Amino acid sequence: MATPLERWVEEQAKLTQPSKIYWCDGTEAEAKKLIKIGMKEETINGHPVFQKLNDKHWPNAYYHRSHPNDVARTEQLTFVCHPAKETAGPNNNWMDPKEAKTKMTALFDGCMKGRTMYVMPYMMGHPKSPYAKACVQITDNSYVAVSMRIMTRMGKEALDRIGSSENFVRGLHSVGDLHPERRFIIHFPQENLVWSFGSGYGGNALLGKKCFALRIASCMGQKEGWLAEHMLIMGVEDPKGQVTYIAAAFPSACGKTNLALMQSALPGYKVWTLGDDIAWLNIGPDGRLYAINPEAGFFGVAPGTSLKTNPKMIETLKNKKFFPTLYTNTAIDNDTNEPWWEGLDGAVPKSVTDWQGNAWDPSKGTKAAHANSRFTVSILNCPTLSKEFDNPQGVPISAIIVGGRRSKLIPLVMEAFNWQHGVFLGTRTGSETTAAAAHQLGVLRRDPMAMLPFCGYNMGDYFAHWLNVGKKLKNPPKIFSVNWFRTDETSKFMWPGFGDNIRVIKWIIDRVQGKVVAKETALGLLPDLKDLDLSGLNIPRETVDKLFSIDPPEWTGELQDIEKYLSQFGSRTPEAIWEEYRSLAEKLGQSVSK
């Protein structure tokens, strides 16, 4: 008798008609074989799927070039198909599930003719974790298959956990013909199912990541009482050896990976890495909030990564331990055949091939590496990997941080008065847009908890769910807001960021440990500047004051924008959030209609 998994695979093969079906075991030997196939037999836009790079300085390095129209997440082509449109909410594109099935069935019909279908059983989370989920993704592309080996726990343990059960999350993916008119990323939360067609880009094609671990998982969490969040997880060890666990939500390309691997600028402090993009937060048996990272690798932004900004990531990339490491849409140094990107240490190489495969002419002012070019590398390569990474229970979270890119208004750091106010800080979070998704850059958009593109249901209900989780926690984490990106009159960042962010984290930990008092302001609790360790940092007092300045009149437009944003969700925006909104307006001396 065929198992439900075998039956499902058979049905997908009948629909897509591959010439071969290959069951992945997730081993290194298999990755080597798939890379060979990718170098010799599969192409994307006329380029081989993989190209070998020189691994003298960058061990196990392979290059992948995307189709130039397929280099970021395409939010406008991403849909969440609940039976009722209101369940998806104004934060999602919605399609009727039946209509979506019909449309996608036509696209998938025969799409794998002449190709190999890779079947990948994988775990999101440690196989022994009560919070982990077993999944299977099908793809017709070796880059996706090799990436999934790095990003998830793939292979036998997932197969064993699925066994003859129906209980696994299904993902069907084909690169199709990469035509943007035939590109759809479609979620069916009722069926724990994702269908993705026409893109080979990470967040669109590695279905365990944003599609499952955030969009589908957020729906599961709403039903089951937990949270699936776009958050890094880190442990910060203080000079006494005590480790405080923190989760932080920043929108795409706003600094999660950098913070998660931060090399502390303050002696005696050490950051231990647990995750850089996704956290699943559950209420543990003791009533505290526990975080696991469902992933097993980093899919990180390359430009700007250097020994100066993120030395631990450079060490991770230079670690030989886990095979392989992928570089997607970076540039290549022609003299050395090594990957290169803007911001990497050392001189700009003399002769460079750009991300589109052309000779790079710097005098034209174009970038050699795509702004959203990325590396894919195992978390096991990370020299600061926390010893708790594989703890099936996860780690107890003492502080949650929300943030985004705000050139104005938002102080460097502040603490919420309480959980409800913290949730409000999350809902009002905004960020100036980046290259991680295909849209206009540098425009302010509200991005509650950095989940706008990833919350699989109505965001009004998501706010309510956050409030409910807080009520169930015995000892809820403190919530903080940070902003590394405030600029001066010349548009320069005022805060040095990166390793110096530990100064802010130290204040957060001191607050968690009850070591320092904070100042009450209209926006939240702000540090007394004497409690912020700025030793060894050459930053004028005036700049520090500006990083924390609150100018009530400047908030008029901000309040209007927050109100407009929250009003979209109608009666689903919880009254408790409006209470916080009114209270903020009142403290700023502004009158509002809501």
Q: Which is nearer to ligand SPV, 12 or 147 (CB)?
A: 147
Which residues fall within 8 angstroms of residue 174, CB to CB, at 6 or more apart?
16, 107, 108, 111, 112, 139, 140, 141, 196, 197, 198
Determine if 70 is a binding residue for Mn ion (CB under 5 A).
Answer: no
Work out how close the CB of 177 gets to ligand GTP at its nearest, in angstroms, rounded to a whole number: 27
Q: Which is nearer to ligand SPV, 202 or 426 (CB)?
A: 202
Query: Which span sits near Mn ion by CB under 5 A: 3-11, 21-29, 271-279, 583-591?
Result: 271-279
Determine if 277 is a binding residue for ligand SPV (CB under 6 A).
Answer: yes
Binding site for ligand GTP (CB under 6 A): 250, 252-258, 276-277, 300-301, 303-304, 309, 436, 484-485, 493, 497-498, 501
At CB < 8 A and 24+ separation, what contacts does 442-447 make?
444/406, 444/561, 446/561, 446/562, 446/565, 447/251, 447/404
Determine if 405 is a binding residue for ligand SPV (CB under 6 A).
Answer: no
Q: Which is nearer to ligand SPV, 302 or 526 (CB)?
A: 302
Q: Which of 371, 233, 381, 368 shows the shortest CA–CA distance to 304?
A: 371
Q: Which two tokens stand for residue 71?
A: 């280099």
254 counts as catalytic:
yes
Task: Select the binding partner of residue 298 from ligand GTP, Mn ion, ligand SPV, none (C-beta < 5 to 8 A, by kind).
Answer: none
> What binding mask, one character per residue, do residues 413-452 give for ligand SPV by CB under 6 A, x or -?
-----------------------x----------------
Other CB atoms within 10 Å distance of the CB of residue 196: 30
For residue 583, which phi and psi values (nearest 5 degrees)?
Answer: -65, -40
Please give the Cα distance from 316 to 309 (Å, whole number): 14
Task: Select the binding partner of residue 497 from ligand GTP, ligand SPV, Mn ion, none (C-beta < 5 to 8 A, by kind).
Answer: ligand GTP
For residue 380, which phi and psi values (nearest 5 degrees)?
Answer: -70, -15
Determine if 510 is a binding residue for ligand SPV (CB under 6 A).
Answer: no
Q: Which is nearer to ligand SPV, 138 or 436 (CB)?
A: 436
Determine if 173 is a binding residue for ligand SPV (CB under 6 A).
Answer: no
Determine if 341 is a binding residue for ligand SPV (CB under 6 A).
Answer: no
Please give the Cα distance from 53 to 57 (Å, whole number): 10
Residue number, nearest CB to ligand SPV: 203
Q: Which is nearer to ligand GTP, 157 or 276 (CB)?
A: 276
Please give the Cα distance from 509 to 507 (Å, whole number): 5
Task: Select the binding partner of residue 375 from ligand SPV, ligand GTP, Mn ion, none (C-beta < 5 to 8 A, by kind).
Answer: none
Q: Is 439 left (phi over 0), alpha (psi -120 to 50) or beta?
A: beta
Which residues fall within 8 angstroms of residue 415, CB to CB, at 6 or more apart?
478, 479, 480, 508, 511, 518, 524, 525, 526
Please give the Cα distance from 400 to 422 (Å, whole number): 9
Please give the Cα distance from 409 to 429 (Å, whole number): 12
Query: Which span sits near ligand SPV by CB under 6 A: 124-132, 201-209, 312-320, 410-418?
Result: 201-209
Determine if 139 is a binding residue for ligand SPV (CB under 6 A).
Answer: no
Residues 37-76 that bind ligand SPV (CB under 6 A): 73
Q: Which is nearer to ligand SPV, 377 or 588 (CB)?
A: 377
Please give the Cα distance from 375 to 341 (Å, whole number): 11
- Interface ranges with ligand SPV (CB under 6 A): 73, 202-203, 209-210, 252, 277, 299, 436
Positions marked catalytic: 254
- Interface ranges with Mn ion (CB under 5 A): 252, 277
